[in-house]
Amino acid sequence: MLFMFPGQGSQKIGMGKDLYDNFPSARSVFQEVDDALEYHLSRLIFDGSAEELRATANVQPALMAVGMACFSVLKNDFSPEILNKVKFLAGHSLGEYTALCVGGVISLADTARLLRVRGQAMAAACPDTGAMAAIIGLEVDVLENLLETENTNESIVQVANDNCYGQVVISGHGKAVEKAMQKSLDMGAKKAILLDVSGPFHSRLMESALDALARAMEPLEFHNPVRPVISNVTAAGESGNFKELLLRQVTSMVRWRESIEFSLEHAVTRLVEIGSGRVLTGLAKRIAPDVECCSLGSPESIEKFASCFC
């Protein structure tokens, strides 16, 4: 079994509120995150505005908190030994921090604080001219070859996410992204969609965010995970060197398709998304249509999963 944790874009106002209302284990997670940040993030998650939640510095710890609340309910209220049945942990972009927290690499409080710093640093790094776009219908190697001819120091565009077959996200300077979108369509892409994001994430334009994140990580103790965590950078199960991998992740492609394929090559037969939304479940079904997939984000889904598999 692979446990997967979602990234930015899966958020919605009210996420996790039913867990908070019904399970002390979930309330404890939200309270610890609020205390770590010295800010009532849970109020924003449950009752705030979508625009405020969408802010990078808020949404990153928020999605982690919801994922950890879901996992806490599964583990503490239904299946204390659940991690014995899990072969790998993985998360999409910021979701990798949730995976590391579940795996015991970083404490919940430290994870919340790191994600607040990461979000603030990434927001500060965003140039006004940055953009991201989803390219539908071309494979990643085709796009990498195309973008290689487009890049200069003054005009950066690169692959940001290899999400699944035929769905690749590019990131960089706005004009370079728009030019690459048109070239993609000329090469046979079905669609090229400009994304509503606040910056060119997972590109070299994020390099100025690295110093702040490195400083925040430096004093923290990272432990070995109870289960290997599939890194966005290597698309392989890792048991250490996470500080370096998390820093590299900021400017590197999220190798999500390869990460799922790695788990399948190592005898994983069930893919389980934990947290808000079903984005990763949808991607998993496109990558591995014959593999069992499910998402756990509500008390009902967690209880049903536990009754069937725990």
- Give the residue numbers marked as catalytic: 93, 202
Cβ neighbors of 250 (< 8 A, separation 6 or more) are 118, 122, 202, 206, 207, 209, 210, 213
Q: How far apart are the C-alpha atoms of 180 and 178, rounded to whole Å?
A: 5
SS3 at position 170: strand
CA 126 → CA 67, 175, 212, 290, distances in Å?
A: 26, 15, 14, 39
CB 274 within 8 A of CB 281: no
The neighbouring-strand residues paired with 274 are 296
SS3 at position 224: coil
Radius of gyration, alpha carbons of the chain: 19
CB 203 within 8 A of CB 251: yes
Q: How far apart are the C-alpha atoms of 287 and 254, rounded to whole Å?
A: 15
SS3 at position 89: strand
SS3 at position 272: strand
Report which of 175, 125, 185 is spatially closest to residue 151, judged by C-alpha positions: 175
